[in-house]
Amino acid sequence: MASASANVDKKTLWGGGYEPLKASYGKLMMWFFLLSDALSFSGLLVTYGFSRFSHPTFDFAAGKEFFFSVGHWPVPELVFTHIPFFHVNAPLVFVGIMTFILILSSVTMVLAVEAGHRNDKNDVVKWMLWTILGGIAFLSCQAWEWTIFITGTPEGLTLADGTVLKGASLAANEYGPVLFADLFFFITGFHGTHVLSGVIINIIVTYNAAIGTYHRVGHYEMVEKVGLYWHFVDLVWVFVFTFFYLV
């Protein structure tokens, strides 16, 4: 009877029986890893919320025009107002485009997973390549965003003692308290590192799919596992978009 099946006896894969949660070992561990990663990102975003709440905010009620100062927390949408190649004041447009790019790359990833369920090697490779392209496009946008933020405005910010702050770094920030810049670099940087590693893993999986590794193994579960990771990275950006840029 066992000789009829080319598969290993599935009970030997799990000491405790056949797939307790009806998910394979690899997928289950990916889920638990993502849960712990969600806690890491929560730590960073909660730190942002904590810092924002413990700093003075600009009082719009007084009818004044908003200005940048190290004394109060900036309004994020007034910090990120550029679009590459266009000299216009367009708050949130560039970051909105980045969000769409990441959502679309998530869609091409689900399509790759769907193709994997059908054992369709060519479709898997095609959709994975689109996903990689989306990831690279997102990272390029982020590099641009960082460059603009680090360079700062032509005028900079003149402090009371006459020092001029230009741009943002981990030690100085012309847009507001130093913590705002620090958390921008840490949160988008940690997320960007995830996207970068996701792109690298996607390239490896695409290569393996193209040379027929998963065809020989008999299933495309690896595509599902990297898919889970990629969607998670997209999800984190949804949260960064809301809690860093919008609120």
- Residues that bind another protein in the complex, under the rule CB under 8 A: 2-3, 5-9, 21-23, 28, 31-32, 35, 38-39, 42, 46-47, 49-56, 60, 75, 77, 91-92, 96, 99-100, 103-104, 106-107, 109-111, 114, 117-121, 215-218, 227-228, 231-232, 234-235, 238-239, 241-243, 246-247
Give the span between the Cα atoms of 2 and 8, in whole angstroms: 9
Nearer to another protein, 115 or 199 (CB): 115
CB of 76 to another protein, least distance (A): 10
CB of 160 to another protein, least distance (A): 16
Determine how many CB atoms are found less than 10 A away from the CB of residue 49. 12
Q: Specify whether the CB–CB gap between 166 and 174 falls below 8 A.
A: yes
Nearer to another protein, 64 or 216 (CB): 216
CB of 191 to another protein, least distance (A): 15
Alpha helices by DSSP H, listed for the chain, are: 25-54, 76-79, 93-117, 121-151, 178-210, 213-217, 221-240
SS3 label, residue 232: helix
Nearer to another protein, 182 or 234 (CB): 234
CB of 164 to another protein, least distance (A): 26
Burial of 106 (0-12, 13-18, 19+ CB in 10 A): buried
Nearer to another protein, 120 or 144 (CB): 120
Give the span between the Cα atoms of 81 and 60, in whole angstroms: 20
